[in-house]
Structure 1
Amino acid sequence: MTKNEKQKKLTLITLILMIFTSVFGFANMPRSFYLMGYGAIPWFILGGITYFIPFAFMMAEYGSAFKNEKGGIYSWMEKSVGPKFAFMGVFMWYASYVVWMINICSVIWIPLSNTIFGVDTTSKWGIAGLNSTQVLGILGVMWVYATFTISKRGISKITKITSVGGMAVAILNIVLIIGAIIVFALNKGQFREPITSAMSFVNSPNPGYQTISSILSFLVFALFAYGGIEAVSGLVDQTENPEKTFPKGILIAAAIISVGYSLGIFLIGIFTNWAGKLSGENVNMGNIAYVVMNNLGYTIGESLGLSVDIATQMGNWLARFVGLSMFLALTGAFFTLSYAPLKQLIEGTPAKLWPGKMSVIDENEMPINAMKIQTFIVAVMVIFISMGGSSAKVFFRLLVDMTNVAMTLPYLFLSISYISFRKKDNIKKPFLMIRNKKNAVVVGIIVTAVVGFANIFTIIEPALNGNYSSAIAMIAGPILFIILASLIYGSSEKRK
């Protein structure tokens, strides 16, 4: 191995930061507190025990067994079940990330605006006769092109950016923890959101989350907050000493993320009274992270006996820091997820599936032609949605609904594959977190059942509220992607 090649390998810390950036969403904690208060904590614990931690074990076992495979989850499913099953799962998974990128091209400017101005001013961004939506569309195209220009130079460029994103989120969490402890100490152990009994960890202070269906919808939210760990699975072959480093990185990141979510929700209650701060009409899922952290800064100033003006400024500057951290975190996630899923789709699947030179890997080990096509598709879609008026926005909303379930169905493919993976004695498994084969199969079945329930309920929930078009779109999306995958796969079989 040359010195240059060795420099490209991911270390344990870099891998953990990439996983942390791809999975941990800081905004999920204030959003959870906004929806359920302390009542969110048991659902995150349940989701961690029944889905995320065992799923992380599976990813670690897969990664160790297939440490030399470049195709990530496609290779795992193909070796465990078969090529057609694997292609359908990975194609659906990849398509949903393309839609995610299209969405982020517009959304990423909101935290940047909060960093610069202290509030979201994107709705007022207009220039040369263009309205704010059109300006955001042009900025989105510039963003996706800049990402491609940097990413095509190799994995080392991507890891530098994702490491910055991971560190930003880590620092944001440290600020939350230290700030909550300061408020706790200054207020002599008093919680702004009082814990009156054990039922405080069950009931929601939010009037909209009192029914069984709304509470179950939160369980689904908690499960999906853990999504994304499979995205870095295609980087096993680019990890130092992958047989040991990859499973260790996944398990450390999984432990930090599982504990981090519950701890963060609990700490928010130290400095935030739900009825006093979060019940207003101006508070929503989009700005809740800024509201909560602004309140932390204000509460620290107030607890120190500072003037209202100084306390307000402390709150505003903390909100700006949240904006910067979330901008950097989204940037890191965008770089990882604009490359890792595509890498798994192109490198993992047989080259004969793809026309022309689409499957070519360049000297930087990047699927350069596929990256160009992906960049073009995302850029065209961003321009179409931003310039196409209301009908284009309706189309995109439909597209998001179609990929809502499609993004998480591959977890079902992976957990089903894991059952087959553990039953196959001919696959060498150097790392086993669950040593007993029968126990491993039972865990695989439990995870499959949990993810299956989450997806079924995600489809049913809009219909229960009368939104039948979203429910139909969520069913239609996976069906459409499976048909497309079958056509692509069938076409390659005929050529063969």
Structure 2
Amino acid sequence: MENSKKIVWYNLAFMAFSTVWGFGNVLNGFVYFNGIQVIFSWILMFALYFVPYALMVGELGSAFKDSGGGVSSWINETMGPKIAYYAGWTYWACHVTYIASKGSGGLKALSWAIFRNAETYDTLPTLYVQLATLAVFLFFCWVASRGLNPLKKLTTLAGSSMFVMSILYIVMMFAAPIINPNGGYLTPDFSWDNIIPQFNVQYFTSLSILVFAVGGCEKISPYVNKVENPSKGFPKGMIALAVMVVVCAILGTIAMGMMFDPTVINGSTESFNSYVSNGSYWAFQKLGEYYHVGDLLLIIYALCNMIGQFSTLVLSIDAPLRMLLDNEQAREFIPTKLLKQNKYGAYINGIWMVIILSGSIILIQTFVPNAAAVLAQLNKLNSVTMPMRYLWVFAAYIALRKGIEKFNPEYRFAKSQGVAYFFGFWCFIVTAACCILGMYVPGDIGSTLLNVITPIVLTLLGIILPIIKKYEK
């Protein structure tokens, strides 16, 4: 009876797949890595980073099955409450930049759903676009402050529909030449010279995009001990996940190679930015043309994306803040004023802190040349800041292996301590290097400064708060 409630390894793989993967990952890889050349980088990233990362998460989840499964709880168990506060702070701070991008992304999706073109949104003055983004952001901050989260249920629905649209795109694109042979498809060049990328500055400063794409599998850690035969079932599930993701990444990239010419994408900075912000919509618009259904697929995708962006916005204002401020260990390092709750139970001063920090990023971007450049800049900023939270996963894993006899997890990624330490440090160094290298944007001083200054400001703020709390005591 007990065994019937256990999760089979392939069910775990599908659960993780829908959590980790999305259509935007395929687009970003294709645009930033010169079309089908990204296939080489995807394979390396999955083999040398994603698989060990997922298996380490499994061991952490197994060791701390009663600790809620969060990174902060792992750090608290292995390194103590003060370090756990910094881990919780990092997780929250990463969402500051993420929040700033969701309003812009939602408005872009709404524009595509209504006007069905890129020009309407992209040609609007940046000042007007950013003021509209600020207005949307402030509205959802107000929603969060009232304890109202009407879009929570829509988040799961939107996430599921976007996942379905990603798979649908690949299937329909490969079937299109058979159904409509005269669609005007491109033929990707799979010659050796075209598949192997050029390992230049552009390549290494873009790797954070791939790290950002494959991260986040720690969300499934609570399910480790619910898997049938965890020591064998979990690694099988994670390897199946990696195979599914790499197959989707490769097939999705080939499908895009049949649509878009990388030389056009990289023709100019304006063209590149336009593809970063509009490429996914153009993909579904072209797909609709191939199947003679007009803009139907585009509108469905744009509406799904709009709901997803706005629902993620309200959740990102509320959920990470609660995870930080509800944590008993973290509260002893946070000034009392930030812990103030209004009559609706919302951390009102915490929301004000979000307004100041995310609002500042939104207003800074009024100086960016156009709306497409804003989305491209935010995409790169997120790829630099969001993976910083993964550093704590690897730090927790190294600390776990240091005290392996004490914690004794049911499932172990590697029996050898040397192998375990190697992969723990390897993934930590790769993540840190990609984040640091990703800060540099060739030919764009403004974006580079934003990528450098934002993490520094957020880190300093995280250091200052415990000092204020200490004086308060």
**TM-score bracket for this pair, using the shorter chain length:** 0.7 to 0.9
| Long gaps (5+) in structure 1 | 1-9, 204-209, 302-313
Q: Name the stretch that deviates more: 193-202 or 275-284.
A: 275-284
Contact 1:28 1:225 in 2 (8 A): yes
Bigger shift: 61-70 or 401-410? 401-410
| Farther off after superposition, 71-80 or 254-263 | 254-263
For 1:442, the equivalent position in structure 2 comes to: 422
Residues 1:286 and 2:262 aligned together: no
State the Cα distance separating 1:112 from its structure 2 match. Answer: 2.0
Match of residue 373 from structure 1: 349
CA distance in 2, matches of 1:492, 1:399: 32
User: Cα gap change, 1:69/1:335 in structure 2, threshold over 3 Å: closer, same or farther?
Assistant: farther
Q: 1:183–1:299: 8 Å Cα contact kept in structure 2?
A: yes
Cα distance per residue 1:40-67 (max 9 Å; x no partner):
1111121122222222222222223222
Distance 1:243 1:436, change over 3 A: same
Cα separation, partners in 2 of 1:325 and 1:18, compared to 1, 3 Å? farther
**1:109 partnered with 2:107:** yes
Quote the Cα distance in structure 1 between the aligned partners of 2:380 and 2:262: 30
Q: Look up the match of 1:227.
A: 215
For 1:107, the aligned partner's letter is: G
Instruction: Give the structure 1 partner of residue 466 of structure 2.
Output: 489
Verify: 1:334 aligned to 2:325, yes or no. Answer: no
Post-superposition Cα deviations, 1:112-131, rounded to whole Å, max 9, x if no partner, equal 221233125446889xxx94
1:175 & 1:90 partners in 2: Cα distance? Answer: 37
Aligned to 2:401: 422
Separation in structure 2 between the aligned mates of residue 124 and residue 143 of structure 1, nearest angstrom: 26
For residues 62 and 367 of structure 2, the distance between their equivalents in structure 1, rounded to whole angstroms, comes to: 47
Q: How far apart are the structure 1 equivalents of 2:162 and 2:287?
A: 17
**1:305 aligned partner:** none
Q: How many residues align?
A: 448
CA contact (8 A) 1:409 1:455 kept: yes
1:405–1:455 contact (8 Å) kept in structure 2 = yes
Q: Partner residue of 1:351?
A: 331
- Who is 1:167 aligned against? 160
Amino acid at match of 2:161: A
Larger mean Cα displacement after TM superposition, 70-79 or 396-405:
396-405
Q: Identify if the C-alpha distance between structure 1 residues 191 and 484 changes in structure 2 by more than 3 Å, giving closer, same or farther.
A: same
What is the alpha-carbon distance in structure 2 between the residues aligned to residue 466 and residue 99 of structure 1?
22
Listed as ranges, the matches of 1:10-159 within 5 Å are 23-35=20-32, 36-70=34-68, 72-120=70-118, 121-122=120-121, 131-146=128-143, 158=152
Q: Deviations over 1:236-292 (max 9, x none)?
A: 4xxxx7622598598366554443223211222244455589869655311111122
TM-score by length of 2: 0.77
Secondary structure, counterpart of 2:256 in structure 1: helix
Aligned residue number for residue 216 of structure 1: 204
TM-score, L = length of structure 1 = 0.74
Q: Does 1:202 align with 2:199?
A: no
Indicate conservation of the 8 Å contact 1:402/1:476, yes or no. no
Name the CA shift for 1:437/1:329 in 2 (closer, same or farther; >3 Å).
farther
Same amino acid, percent of matched pairs: 22
CA distance in 1, matches of 2:249, 2:112: 23
- Residues 16 and 115 of structure 1: is their aligned pair in 2 closer, same or farther, counting only changes over 3 Å? farther
> Could you tell me whether the CA contact under 8 Å between 1:357 and 1:369 is conserved in 2?
no
